[in-house]
Structure 1
Amino acid sequence: MSRIERRTLFKAGLAGLAVPALSGVAAPALAAVPPTGTTARYTMTAFTYASENTVHVYDSVDATAFSLLKGPAFKPPTGLSRDPSIMRHTDGRYYLTYTAGWTGNQIGLASSADRVNWTFLGNITIGADGVGNSWAPEWFIDSDGSVNIILSLHYNGTPTGAFQASKITATNAALTSWSAPVPLAGIPSAYIDTFIVKVGSTYHAFCKSTSTKSIDFATASSLNGPYTIWKTGNFVTYDGEGPCLVPLDNGGWRMYFEDFRNRRFWFTDSRDTFRTWTTPALLPGLSGTVKHLTVVRENVEGGLTVPSGSRLLRSVNFPDRYWNAGGNLATTGTAFTVVPGLADANAYSFRAPDGRYLRHYAFRLRLDPAGSGSFAEDATFVARPGAVAGSVAFESYNFPGRYIRHRNLELWADLTANTDLFHNDSSFTAVAP
C-alpha cells in the first residue's frame, strides 16, 4: 500500500501470489470440488472508497459473486483500517490485521468468532528503530504452523518509495507477542505489497515493482529468502495494486487486483504456475466500491446435491421451458442423465440419451461425444445455490465464474453479472421426466 498522493508517482504493476505447479487443463484433474455435504466459502474483507477506517465483510460460494455480510463490520477506536487481511487461526477465530496509520510503527489487530462481530485487540508495534511507515500487512501461515505477517516497512531517512519487504512472527498462540521484523532477502526496496504462499518446500512471492510497473514473481527455499526474481507478469494496461490470490475448486488459483487509477477491481486465473493467465475480468458488483481486499477460502458444511439419474432441467423464470439437446431452452426438454463430473466426481456432467454429453464450446452449450483434451472439463459443472429455494445454478468447472445461463432461449456459459436477472436466468430445477 502507499499513500494516494504517492501512488501516482509510480504506475503500480500487479503484485500477487504464487501457486503450486498444476497440470494445465488436461482431464481428468485431481478432485478439488468439496465432497457431498460441504462447500467452499470465500470471505472477503476490504475497506472502501467511501471510508478508510471501516472494514466491510463479504461472502461468496464461488469467489466471483460476493454479497455483503456486514458493512461496516469493524471500526478501530482511532486511526485507519486500510488493507485489511483476514485469516482463521487454530483457536477457530478469525483475525484481521490492517494498516493502522499513514505513518508510524504500528499495525492493527482485531478478531471475530463469526466474521460479523469484531473486537479490537490493539495495535502491534513493529520492534525496530526508525520505522516511519508500516503498510499492507498480510497474514502468512507457514507449514510448520507459525503465524507470520508480511508487511512493507519504510524507514526514516531512506528515499521515498524505498520499502523493505519484511516479516514478523507471533511468539505466542494468543498473537499478543511478536518478533522483530526480519527483512526478506532478495526482494529489493523498489517493491511493495508482497504476498507469499508456500508450495511444497518452495516459498513463492509476488511483488509489485514501483520501478518497472510490473508484477515480479520470486521464489526461495526459505521464508526469509534469499528470493530469486524469475518471471514478470506485466499487466501494463491495469494500474494494479492490492492483490491477493485464493484457490479455486478446479485446482487453479484466482488473483484479485485493484485498477487504482480507474477505481475498478479485476480478477485473473492461472492453472499452470503463472505461465498463463486468463484475460482479467471485472469483479462483478463490487468493482469501484472495494479497495485492497483479501479473500480467504474455507470448506464448510453445506452445498447442493443434484439428484442422479434421468432429469429434466427446468428454467426458474421460464418454467414451461427446459434444456434440450440442441443447447437451447425449449418447451420439449431432453431427459439428461445426471452423472458424476467427468473431470471431478464431486461435480456433475449431463449425458443425453444417445450417449453424448452437454459441454460448452466457445462458451455455447452443445452435445458432443466424449473426447480427449479439455472435453472432460468442458462437460463438468459445479452445483451452486440457485436464485430461489430448490433451484440450482451450474458453474463451469474450467472457467470459474461462468454459469450455464439462458439468453435468447439459447444456453451459454456466461460470466456472472451478479444481478437478479442473471441469477434468475442461470437457475434451474432438476425434475423427474
Structure 2
Amino acid sequence: MNRTLRAVLALVATLAAVLAVPGAPETAGAAAPPPGQATRYTMTAFTNSSESNMYVYESPDATGFTLLKGPAYTPPSGMIRDPSVFRHTDGNYYLTYTTRTWSALSTTIGFARSRDRVNWTFLYDYTVPISGLQRAWAPEWFVDTDGSVNVILSASVAADGEWVFKPYKLTATDPALTSWSTPVLLSGLGPNHIDTFIVKAGSVYHAFAKNETTKYIEYATASSLTGPYTFRRTGDWAGFGGYAEGPALVPLDNGGWRIYYDAYSAGKYWYSDSHDDFATWSAPTELPGLTGFVRHLTVLRETVPGGVGLPTGTTRSLRSVNHTDRYAAVRANGLGHLDPVTSSSSTAVKQSATFTVVPGLADANCYSFRDTTGRYLRHWDFRARFDDADGSAVFAGDATYCARPGTAAGSVRLESYNYPGRYVRHYNHELRVDLHQDTDLFRADSSFSAVAAWA
C-alpha cells in the first residue's frame, strides 16, 4: 500500500483500530457480488481512427477490457460519436449518440438497440426540439431512482453562441423509448459546460461536466435532477488536468466510484477512483491497452450469473499458471514469494505454501488468505507480505482480494480490494500487487490455480 495514502487512511481508521481487540477483524458486509454471480462492465466507444464505427468491450474489473466486437455498429448516417449505453427493463441494451462530426451543425441524436451488446439495430434519429438549436452533443443515459429514463445532452443555441453549451434533460414518455418530453434546461450548470454526466448517490445528484472555457472537468451537486446545481469543485480540483472531456462514472465492487475521461489534447484516456463520496481522487492512470485509441466512452456495470470463486474454510495452495512447479509462499521474513515445492520438500516448505481461504476481511464476497501461523496475506508499498491482523479497516482492505477469471481453466486472478486494478502477481519470483498491464505475460503472471494444500 502506498505510504502517503496509508497515512491518510490511518487517520480515518484510528477510532476503529483503538476500539478493536488485536486479532482477526470481523468480516465486513459485501459490495461485491455473491458466489455464483459476477460483475460485468460493458464499454461502448468511438475511436481515434473512425467516427463512423462503435466498438464494444467487456471487463470483469473496470480496468482490463477485452474487445467483444469492433466495429460493432455503424448507423445509417455513417456517423457515431459519444455512444452511451444502458440496459432497460425490457432486457434490451440501448444506445444514444451524437449523429454528426464536431464541426457540423447537428440537431439530432441517434438511438439503437441490442439484445446481446454485440449486434445492434438502428432505431431512429430524434430531432431535439430546442429553439435555435445548432449542436446537440454527447447524450448520456440517466435512469433515476423513480425509474424514469432520461437523456442528458449538451446543446448550443444561436442566442447563446455557436459554441456555448448547456445541459438539457429529455425524459422518455413511453416504455419503448420512442417519445420524449420537452427539453428542460438544468439550472446552475452554466454558462458554458459540456459533456455533463450525472450519477445519484442517496438523495443527491452529482454532476461532472467539462468547463468549455477553462477546459477542466468540474463537479456540482443538486437535490433535484434539473437543479439548481451548485459547483463544489472547479479548476484542476481533482488532478485530472486540463483539456479533459467526456467524463463517465461507474460504481466499483468495493463501493467506490471510477471516472473515465478523454485527455484529448494529449491523445490519451485516463481513469481515477474515489472512495470518499467524490471528495478526493486517486492519481490518474492510463486505461491499459485502450488509451490513445478509444474516444468519449461510457461503461455499464451489471451483476450477471457466473464468475469464479474459491472454497472458503478450506486449505489450499496457490500454484502459478505459468510456473507450474512454483507456488505462492511466505518466507521467514514474512514476504511473499513464488517458490518451488515438491513432494520431497520439507514440512516447513510445504507449510509455507499452504493457506486457509476465508471470507474477505473487508468484503465477505471476496477472499482473505491466512498462513499456518495465522498471519494474513496483505500488501505494503505494493509488496505482498504476511502480517498479524491489527483489527483496523486499513488492514482489512489490504488483506482482501476479489477473484477474477485467470488465464487457465479454473484459475483465478486476485484483485486488490482497496486498490482496484492491482493484482497479486509474481515478478522475479517475488509476489507483488501491481497495476494491470494489457499483456499476456502479466495476465499469466497474475493467474493462480487453487490446488490441494501441500500441508
TM-score tier (shorter):
over 0.9
Aligned with 2:276 (options 268, 272, 279)? 272
- Structure 1, unaligned stretches of length 5 or more? 1-22
Partner of 1:51: 50
Aligned with 2:380 (options 342, 345, 361)? 361
**Whole-Å Cα distance in 2 between the matches of residues 133 and 63 of structure 1?**
31
Query: Following TM superposition, by how much is the alpha carbon of 1:29 offset from its aligned partner in structure 2, in angstroms?
Result: 5.2
Which region of structure 1 is more displaced relative to structure 2, 59-68 or 235-244? Answer: 235-244
**Pair 1:324-2:329 in alignment:** yes
Query: Following TM superposition, by how much is the alpha carbon of 1:99 offset from its aligned partner in structure 2, in angstroms?
Result: 0.2
Partner of 2:318: 313
Partner of 1:163: 165
Q: Which residue identity is paired with 1:339?
A: V
Conservation of the 8 A alpha-carbon contact between 1:203 and 1:222: yes
Aligned with 1:338 (options 336, 344, 357)? 357
Aligned with 1:380 (options 384, 392, 400)? 400
**Whole-Å Cα distance in 2 between the matches of residues 181 and 239 of structure 1?**
28
Aligned with 1:142 (options 141, 144, 150)? 144
Q: Which residue identity is paired with 1:324?
A: A
**Whole-Å Cα distance in 1 between the matches of residues 216 and 48 of structure 2?**
24
Query: Following TM superposition, by how much is the alpha carbon of 1:235 offset from its aligned partner in structure 2, in angstroms?
Result: 3.1
**Whole-Å Cα distance in 1 between the matches of residues 218 and 291 of structure 2?**
24
TM-aligned CA distance change 1:407 to 1:135, over 3 Å: same
Aligned with 1:281 (options 281, 285, 296)? 285
Partner of 1:88: 87
Aligned with 2:249 (options 245, 251, 263)? 245
**Whole-Å Cα distance in 2 between the matches of residues 390 and 183 of structure 1?**
51
Partner of 2:226: 224
Partner of 1:351: 370
Partner of 1:422: 442
Query: Following TM superposition, by how much is the alpha carbon of 1:159 offset from its aligned partner in structure 2, in angstroms?
Result: 2.4
Conservation of the 8 A alpha-carbon contact between 1:307 and 1:430: no
TM-aligned CA distance change 1:30 to 1:253, over 3 Å: farther
The number of residues matched between the two structures is 411
Matches of residues 293-304 of structure 1 in structure 2 within 5 Å?
293-304=297-308
More helix by share: 2
**Whole-Å Cα distance in 1 between the matches of residues 12 and 227 of structure 2?**
28
**Whole-Å Cα distance in 2 between the matches of residues 66 and 159 of structure 1?**
39
Give the SS at the match of 2:205.
strand
TM-score (norm 1): 0.92
Conservation of the 8 A alpha-carbon contact between 1:45 and 1:295: yes
Deviations 1:91-126 (A, max 9, x none): 000000000113221100000000011000011111
TM-score (norm 2): 0.88
Deviations 1:255-279 (A, max 9, x none): 0111101211111000101221111
Give the SS at the match of 1:58.
strand
Deviations 1:285-337 (A, max 9, x none): 11111000000000000011212311111111111111111301111352011
**Whole-Å Cα distance in 1 between the matches of residues 197 and 230 of structure 2?**
15
Conservation of the 8 A alpha-carbon contact between 1:213 and 1:234: no
Give the SS at the match of 1:328.
strand
Q: Which residue identity is paired with 2:315?
A: S
Matches of residues 78-117 of structure 1 in structure 2 within 5 Å?
78-101=77-100, 102-117=104-119
Q: Which residue identity is paired with 1:76?
A: P
Give the SS at the match of 1:377.
helix
Query: Following TM superposition, by how much is the alpha carbon of 1:238 offset from its aligned partner in structure 2, in angstroms?
Result: 4.7
**Whole-Å Cα distance in 2 between the matches of residues 205 and 51 of structure 1?**
29
Conservation of the 8 A alpha-carbon contact between 1:24 and 1:272: no
Q: Which residue identity is paired with 2:414?
A: F
Matches of residues 17-32 of structure 1 in structure 2 within 5 Å?
30-32=29-31
**Whole-Å Cα distance in 1 between the matches of residues 135 and 106 of structure 2?**
5
Q: Which residue identity is paired with 1:131?
A: L
Q: Which residue identity is paired with 1:418?
A: D
